């Protein structure tokens, strides 16, 4: 039997740097969670920050740049973590240098990783390991934001149906992985349900051979779905990510507890709650509330109509955020100028319509699958 623990976002921050740098990160998670990880045969988490030396520069992007000192790797090692997915929207926040310093730190600490590379071919490689004689495959990918690798550029493995579905199928059929995990970094932040498109993508990943698909990135506990013999988890919340965020959904999470036998497997969910600048095992009413709500949402998404209607309602709530981003600055002035000149001056001065940060925002909204789906849903409304 192979016993695997999957946790979500791990980010050393200002609030807990001392514990990470001194290798005392166990203090942040408590004895009970520490024992759960230690007693597993294999544990994997999402490292959602580059480990930097301090001389790297933040890339141009929309959204915050996250970085942690490379010395915090001692605390990551102390958590008894075996594997980290680096396929996320922050690992390239400090460019190729930041990625390289991260890889060097992890190699020095003896922590395995996947989901990134010096080019696309390297980034899309499936990670394999044997756990008590059982071959485990882990495929790491992320939605398109500012971290994606290309043919000649380092970065993250993107989810691309032209490649990713073939990679998953090959892992199961050609490489003969006994149990295949897909760690998919995507979905809408702070939304506890799958969008219709995300659900369709995850269904297809299961159909191609994945036994478990875990959607990280949402920063909240979502729901699960059993589909054609596989399991999909749409959001498990953060592991350690203390950033002062007060949103209720940041206060709880689940660890995914997998026991794999020769011809079967069993998946359980372990509730955890935020505790100061760390986390603790959820108990009593806290634990019941997390799991009960998780199960209620999981039953709700069995109805395809609910998935569509609930997402439509959520999109409507985000209307001003998304459509407002396309207005740029000095909107009234440019609308008038456009009418007077029949569009000539605006076409000539199109770059002045949007400041650099605004253009980066629009690029993010269009490139990233989750943001683009929101925009298209708004534009398609009757």
Q: What is the mean pLDDT of residues 260-282?
A: 94
User: What pLDDT does residue 319 have?
Assistant: 79
Dist. CA 262–CA 150, nearest whole Å: 38
Strand partners of residue 72: none
User: What pLDDT does residue 38 have?
Assistant: 97
Q: Which of 9-13, 177-181, 241-245, 370-374 has the lowest mean pLDDT?
A: 241-245
Q: What is the mean pLDDT of residues 105-110?
A: 98
Closest alpha carbon to 73 in 44, 53, 93? 53
Kindly state the tokens that stand for 323.
């459509």
Q: What is the mean pLDDT of residues 121-134?
A: 98
Closest alpha carbon to 227 in 199, 254, 255, 253? 199
Q: What is the mean pLDDT of residues 202-216?
A: 98
**CB 364: neighbour CB atoms within 10 A?**
19
User: What pLDDT does residue 357 have?
Assistant: 86
Dist. CA 336–CA 341, nearest whole Å: 9
Q: Quote the mean pLDDT of the chain.
A: 92
More confident site: 175 or 330: 175
Dist. CA 52–CA 282, nearest whole Å: 33
Q: Is the pLDDT of residue 335 over 70?
A: no
Contact 76, 7 (CB under 8 A): no
pTM score, whole prediction = 0.89
**CB 64: neighbour CB atoms within 10 A?**
10
- In three-state secondary structure terms, 291 is helix
Dist. CA 334–CA 337, nearest whole Å: 5
Q: What are the sequence ranges of the domains in the chain?
A: 2-303, 318-380
Dist. CA 310–CA 312, nearest whole Å: 5
Hey, which CATH number is domain 2-303, 3.60.21.10, 3.40.50.300, 3.30.43.10, 3.40.50.150?
3.60.21.10
Give me the residue label for tokens 């689940």. Answer: 254
Q: Is the pLDDT of residue 342 over 70?
A: no
């Amino acid at each position: 039997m192979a016993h695997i623990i999957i946790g979500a976002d791990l980010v050393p921050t200002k609030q807990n740097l001392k514990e990470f740098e001194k290798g005392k990160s166990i203090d942040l998670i408590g004895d009970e969670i520490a024992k759960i990880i230690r007693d597993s045969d294999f544990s994997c988490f999402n490292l959602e920050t580059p480990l930097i030396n301090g001389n790297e520069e933040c890339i141009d992007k929309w959204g915050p740049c996250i970085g942690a000192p490379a010395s915090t790797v001692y605390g990551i090692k102390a958590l008894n973590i075996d594997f980290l997915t680096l396929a996320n929207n922050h690992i390239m926040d400090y460019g190729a240098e930041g990625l390289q310093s991260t890889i060097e730190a992890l190699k020095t600490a003896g922590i395995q990783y996947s989901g990134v590379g010096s080019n696309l071919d390297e980034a899309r490689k499936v990670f394999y390991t044997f756990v008590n004689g059982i071959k485990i495959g882990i495929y790491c990918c992320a939605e398109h934001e500012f971290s994606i690798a290309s043919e000649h550029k380092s970065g993250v493995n993107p989810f691309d149906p032209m490649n990713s579905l073939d990679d998953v199928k090959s892992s199961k059929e050609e490489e003969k992985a006994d149990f295949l995990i897909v760690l998919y970094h995507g979905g809408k932040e702070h939304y506890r349900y799958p969008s219709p498109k995300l659900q369709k993508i995850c269904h297809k990943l299961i159909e191609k051979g994945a036994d478990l698909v875990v959607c990280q990135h949402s920063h909240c506990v979502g729901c699960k779905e059993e589909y054609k013999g596989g399991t999909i988890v749409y959001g498990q919340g953060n592991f350690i990510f203390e950033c002062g965020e007060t949103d209720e959904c940041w206060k709880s999470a689940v660890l995914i507890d997998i026991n794999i036998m020769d011809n079967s497997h069993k998946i359980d969910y372990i509730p955890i709650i935020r505790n100061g600048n760390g986390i603790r095992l959820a108990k009593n009413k806290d634990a019941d509330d997390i799991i009960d709500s998780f199960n209620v949402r999981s039953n709700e998404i069995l109805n395809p109509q609910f998935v569509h209607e609930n997402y439509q309602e959520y999109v409507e709530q985000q209307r001003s955020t998304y459509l407002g981003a396309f207005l740029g600055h000095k909107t009234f002035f440019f609308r008038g100028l456009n009418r007077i000149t029949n569009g000539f001056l605006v076409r000539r001065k199109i770059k002045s319509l949007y400041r650099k940060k605004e253009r980066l925002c629009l690029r993010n909204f269009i490139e990233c699958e989750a943001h683009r789906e929101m925009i298209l849903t708004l534009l398609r409304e009757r």
